[in-house]
Amino acid sequence: MTTRREFLRNATLASAGLALSGISRKTNAASYSRIMSSNEKINLAHIGIGNRGWDIINEFDKTGMANVVALCDVDLGAEHTQKALAKFPNAKKFKDFREMFDKMGNEIDAVAIATPDFAHFPATMLAINLGKHVYLEKPMGRTFHEVELMIQTAKKHPNVVTQMGNQGHSEANYFQFKAWKEAGIIKDVTAVTAHMNNSRRWHSWDPNIKKFPPAEPIPETLDWDLWLSALLWHDFNKDFHYGQWRSWYDFGMGALGDWGAHILDTVHEFLDLGLPEEIVPLKLDGHNDYFFPMASTIQFNFPKRGDMPPVTVTWYDGVNNLPKLPPGYGKSDLDPNIPQVAGFEIEPIKLNPGKIIYSKELTFKGGSHGTTLSIIPEEKAKEMEKKLPQVPKSPSNHFQNFLLACQGKEKTRSPFEIGGPLCQVFCLGVAAQRLNRKLVFDRKTKHVVNDAFGDAFLTGIPPRKGWEEFYKM
């Protein structure tokens, strides 16, 4: 077994420029052999067990393929973590994922990580380098650099299975988009409109903010220092905690990072978009230096790829910041499978989260998550009906797909090599939001070339003392 102590030693060597190989293979080979030889359940550890973490715990439990051996959360005394603790009384409990791996790393095959966005990176990096398969909620990381390190680390450890948690990638839209693209129904796409116009947590706040909200007493059960992970210190405030962290540049990714992976995932993969050349903030209402705008319109310009023409993707968020709809659009339906998280339910509105795809010959409309596409207007859809290919059904949902991949029976549909570049698009969008100016991006060097601050933003502020180890691989 590769221990965390060995990981730290190897990380130091790697930072000195020495080549490493096989860090994960010893542990993972033994784990893989055990699973395959007896067809046992996957020994799964959950990091982040409340709210969305609780949803993920239940989804994995429904598969009947996982054995929960450890539960890790920085607030084991909180009300929102008690259901998970009660459901798996025999699982070992930890506040710190580092201690969990130190004490029982040889008992864990895989981890499911459902912490806030800014805390994804350290746990993921340690898990991969210890040979543990990783299911990670979207977006993968808060900065472009973090996501890049995760992509490259996963590549160095090909025996480790990774899956980003955009569950629509295992539902009907994924298989339909793939089939329609391969059949030539979706071709010559030139523009995509993506929209998420529901109310967000920060929409009631004052954008004339001049400083962070004042310090408040830390809940007795919460290890706030550990919650902050690698971030620089922030005094506790209730508006940083629970789902409120999504609102702040220092903690989350706003509406774009939260919903982009559910709306643009198939567009990004099957149109081979990769990374954009330009990111242009067209509208940022209520822009400030602390939390996300009240409304954002952001344009991403992607170049020609092979025989596919350039594509402009335009993102809209904000309650009244609605995109122009094409003739024959019809009504907007809300995907009934969108999960409710911690009582925060997406309510149906006039224009529900989704996308409009414009090609040279056809126009498509689609929703979020697993919602399938339809051709508009209706007359054109009827004309095309007999030309549409048969769409296969999904052999497994996103959670089953991950566990089956851990057993070597399937490949994950949203591994880091696919989910990572998608998240990096959103990281670039957030950089443009934060700086409120156009960024020109070099796809080969992966640097912003017109703005030094924009380029620095892709890396972000260095981690706190004690957390540097995870950035050395």
Q: Concatenate the DSSP letters of all residues of 324-386 into one string.
A: PPPTT----PPPTTPPPBTTBPPPP-SS-SEEEEEESS-EEEE-STTPPPEEESHHHHHHHGG
Q: Which pLDDT score, from 0 to 100, does residue 24 have?
A: 38
∠ CA 93-341-346, rounded to 5°: 175
- What pLDDT shows up at residue 344? 59
Task: Specify the pLDDT at position 7.
Answer: 56
CA atoms within 13 A on the CB side of 401: 21
Domains and CATH numbers, the chain: 4-167+404-411+460-471 (3.40.50.720), 169-394+425-457 (3.30.360)
Instruction: Give the model's pLDDT for residue 23.
Output: 33
- pLDDT tens string, the chain, 473 residues long: the values are 555 666 555 554 444 333 333 333 344 555 545 444 445 899 999 999 999 999 999 999 999 999 999 999 999 999 999 999 999 999 999 999 999 999 999 999 999 999 999 999 999 999 999 999 999 999 999 999 999 999 999 999 999 999 999 999 999 999 999 999 999 999 999 999 999 999 999 999 999 999 999 999 999 999 999 999 999 999 999 999 988 999 999 999 999 999 999 999 999 999 999 999 999 999 999 999 999 999 999 999 999 999 999 999 999 999 999 999 999 998 887 777 777 655 556 778 889 999 999 999 999 999 999 999 999 999 999 999 999 999 999 999 999 999 999 999 999 999 999 999 999 999 999 999 999 999 999 999 999 999 999 999 999 999 999 999 898 76
Q: What is the pTM of this model?
A: 0.92
The pLDDT of residue 26 is 41
What the block records as the tokens of 42 is 């996957």
Alpha-carbon distance of 110 to 403, in angstroms, equals: 9
pLDDT given at position 3: 59
Residues 423, 140: contact at Cβ < 8 Å? yes
pLDDT value for 332: 84
**Could you tell me the CA-to-CA distances from 121 to 52, 111, 243, 354, 404 in Å, in that order?**
17, 13, 18, 28, 24
**What are the two backbone dihedrals, phi and then psi, of residue 362, each rounded to the nearest 5 degrees?**
-130, 155
Tokens, residue 126: 């340690």
Q: N- to C-terminal Cα distance for the chain?
A: 19
